[in-house]
Amino acid sequence: DTGVSQNPRHKITKRGQNVTFRCDPISEHNRLYWYRQTLGQGPEFLTYFQNEAQLEKSRLLSDRFSAERPKGSFSTLEIQRTEQGDSAMYLCASSFDLDRRLDTQYFGPGTRLTVL
């Protein structure tokens, strides 16, 4: 399987705990994106990496959220001191931008976070 993978697929945690999610993009893709999707809504952009550099962050990404892509391959998204409002599906996507016309984002299956 050469698609975008995400782990874990489901995470249940108690309010106040820290959680970390992992995303493995398609291997030749240099761009990586994180989105959050709440029930009944479309995905909302959180942040974007070009190789290992985090180039854009949404205002939705509070200081409790941090994302890394240390070697320009996989990425992690950490949420500290989780709140019930953080309950959502966290989606990762990747793309390849050598030719902007080919910059279609391919999505992973998501990590569903439930904060009790």
Partner 1 sequence: AQTVTQSQPEMSVQEAETVTLSCTYDTSENNYYLFWYKQPPSRQMILVIRQEAYKQQNATENRFSVNFQKAAKSFSLKISDSQLGDTAMYFCAFTPTGANNLFFGTGTRLTVIP
Applying CB under 8 A, the residues found at the interface with partner 1 are: 3-4, 31, 33, 35, 40-45, 48, 55-56, 58, 91, 100-101, 104-110
Q: Residue 43: which H helix or E strand, with range?
A: none
Is the Cβ of residue 53 or residue 85 nearer to partner 1 in the bound state?
Answer: 53
The CB-of-50 to partner 1 minimum distance in angstroms stands at: 8
Is the Cβ of residue 41 or residue 51 nearer to partner 1 in the bound state?
Answer: 41
| Cis, bond preceding 8 (omega within 30 deg of 0) | yes
The pairing of strands 5-7 and 19-24 is antiparallel
CB within 8 Å of 25: residues ≥ 6 apart: 4, 32, 73, 74, 75, 92, 94
Is the Cβ of residue 82 or residue 113 nearer to partner 1 in the bound state?
Answer: 113
Q: How far out from the chain centre does Cα 73 lie?
A: 13
The CB-of-109 to partner 1 minimum distance in angstroms stands at: 4
The CB-of-13 to partner 1 minimum distance in angstroms stands at: 21
The CB-of-71 to partner 1 minimum distance in angstroms stands at: 20
